[in-house]
């Protein structure tokens, strides 16, 4: 018995410590929720002033899909004859709205079009009920807005596997239709947010033959973000006049250079949807070869893609991973993604630790070609490793000082060929764990 007492004492102490941990964790979560109300990486200046796009009007409403008193349904009405292109998740378990949109892209261009989106519930993995919910929403939007069902696009984002209370949405269509106006895109951007800490918008204007052409887009997404897009919804509107197949090809190619090059947590959503609608209201015709329009659309897409990373769940660092000199473009991408997705690299960045050994590890594990002795690794402009070892000029203090920046570049040259890739990611922090260990409960 005498021998038991110290053990009992230790057990009691342990229980007290565990209780203290729970208390500290709760306090910490609360303190963090104040300071991290908006991602520290959010673009300065808040939501940008987006131009109105001829032929598109917006409205949003708090329909109570999941939470009360926040905008959660948006409607965009698009003038007759618009070309609509799209890119979607490749997930094998994609949501009912995604399947419906995929059937409609490339179909008729006759009549007006509408886009209706809700947050709070993704209507994914909801069986046949999910399809019925989409059908009910599409039918009501078609009736109220006077557009063909084949031109009504839906998207849903939020919790997976719970029935979508679609009546809450259909009950709002008349109000949304009545309220729609060209200037309300900012409300739409807010209505599609889930764990996002800021609404995301980007725009670009070019002038062709003296006539302005405008592009404005909104996006949501902050977790479940990896190629094949992420829990990401992106809606872009332009007044350019363009053939649908031309727009579609351009959108797919640019998606590969932008949204498919970002990763927050390597997880891919069942709901990713990117839609681009071109109304033609500018009366400027864009062809496949059109450099300036393509470049402007690329800029808007890259800007929105980077904003999604900047709002990565718990992110405190925005990281560009640049791989050059790979044996092929595919190898470059494989290496870049292995680095960007490595939990050990991402936690080192969170800890402001210039732990280039973990970058070496990630390259080694990626499966793509690498030669230890030809590899060069840079943090920003600082040459960290070369010739199979730490660079003789590298000083740990320099690396440590560089890691304190909010925006980092990790550059790797493989020394093997011409393959290049750039991807964007963020660090992996306590806040990511917090957000995702609690999201549903």
Catalytic residue from among 126, 154, 231, 238: 231
372 in contact with a second copy (CB under 8 A): yes
Nearer to a second copy, 214 or 335 (CB): 335
66 in contact with a second copy (CB under 8 A): no
Min CB(195)–a second copy separation in Å: 11
Listed residue (217, 430, 420) closest to 308, CA to CA: 217
Distance of CA 354 to the CA centre of its chain: 27
Binders of a second copy: how many residues, by CB under 8 A? 87
Min CB(13)–a second copy separation in Å: 8
Interface positions, 239-298, toward a second copy (CB under 8 A): 265-270
94 in contact with a second copy (CB under 8 A): yes
Site pattern 107..136 for a second copy (x: CB under 8 A): ---------------x-xxxxxxx------
Interface positions, 205-234, toward a second copy (CB under 8 A): 223-224, 226, 228
Min CB(276)–a second copy separation in Å: 24
Catalytic annotation on 279? no
Nearer to a second copy, 289 or 373 (CB): 373
**Binding-site member from 385, 410, 421, 426 for a second copy (CB under 8 A):** 385
25 in contact with a second copy (CB under 8 A): yes
Nearer to a second copy, 111 or 357 (CB): 357
Which residues are CB-neighbours of 141 under 8 A, at least 6 positions away?
75, 114, 116, 147, 152, 173
Interface positions, 177-196, toward a second copy (CB under 8 A): none
**Binding-site member from 181, 343, 405, 406 for a second copy (CB under 8 A):** 343
49 in contact with a second copy (CB under 8 A): no
- In angstroms, rounded to a whole number, what is the distance separating the alpha carbons of residues 102 and 145? 21
**Binding-site member from 70, 80, 81, 162 for a second copy (CB under 8 A):** 162
47 in contact with a second copy (CB under 8 A): no
Active site residues: 231
């Amino acid at each position: 018995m005498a021998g038991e007492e110290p053990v009992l004492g230790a057990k009691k102490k342990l229980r007290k410590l565990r209780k203290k941990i729970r208390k500290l964790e709760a306090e910490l979560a609360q303190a963090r929720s104040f300071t991290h109300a908006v991602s520290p990486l959010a673009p300065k200046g808040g939501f940008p002033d987006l131009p109105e796009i001829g032929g598109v009007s917006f409205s949003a409403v708090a329909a109570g899909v999941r939470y009360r008193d926040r905008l959660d349904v948006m409607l965009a009405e698009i003038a007759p004859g618009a070309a609509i292109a799209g890119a979607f998740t490749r997930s094998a378990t994609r949501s009912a709205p995604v399947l419906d949109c995929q059937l409609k892209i490339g179909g008729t261009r006759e009549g007006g079009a509408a886009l209706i989106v809700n947050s709070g519930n993704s209507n994914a993995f909801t069986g046949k009920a999910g399809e019925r919910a989409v059908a009910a929403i599409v039918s009501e939007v078609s009736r109220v807005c006077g557009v063909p069902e084949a031109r009504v696009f839906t998207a849903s984002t939020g919790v997976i596997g719970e029935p979508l209370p679609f009546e809450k949405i259909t009950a709002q269509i008349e109000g949304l239709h009545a309220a729609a106006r060209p200037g309300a895109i900012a409300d739409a951007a807010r209505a599609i947010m889930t764990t996002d800490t800021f609404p995301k918008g980007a725009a670009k204007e070019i002038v062709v033959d003296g006539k302005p052409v405008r592009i404005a887009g909104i996006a949501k997404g902050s977790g479940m973000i990896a190629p094949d897009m992420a829990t990401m919804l992106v809606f872009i509107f332009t007044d350019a006049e363009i053939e649908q197949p031309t727009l579609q090809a351009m959108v797919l190619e640019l998606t590969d250079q932008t949204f498919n090059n970002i990763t927050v947590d390597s997880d891919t959503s069942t709901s990713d949807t990117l839609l681009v609608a071109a109304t033609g209201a500018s009366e400027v015709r864009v062809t496949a070869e059109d450099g300036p329009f393509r470049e402007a659309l690329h800029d808007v897409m890259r800007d929105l893609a980077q904003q999604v990373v900047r709002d990565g769940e718990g992110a405190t660092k925005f990281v560009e991973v640049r791989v050059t000199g790979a044996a092929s473009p595919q190898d470059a991408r494989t290496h870049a993604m292995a680095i960007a997705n490595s939990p050990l690299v991402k936690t080192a960045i969170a800890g402001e630790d210039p732990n280039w050994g973990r970058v070496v590890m990630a390259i080694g594990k990626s499966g793509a070609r690498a030669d230890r002795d030809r590899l060069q690794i840079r943090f920003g402009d600082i040459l960290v490793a070369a010739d199979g070892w730490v660079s003789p000029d590298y000083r740990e203090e320099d690396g440590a000082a560089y890691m304190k920046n909010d925006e980092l570049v990790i550059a790797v040259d493989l020394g093997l060929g011409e393959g290049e890739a750039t991807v964007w990611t963020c660090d992996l922090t306590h806040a990511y764990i917090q957000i995702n260990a609690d999201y549903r409960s």
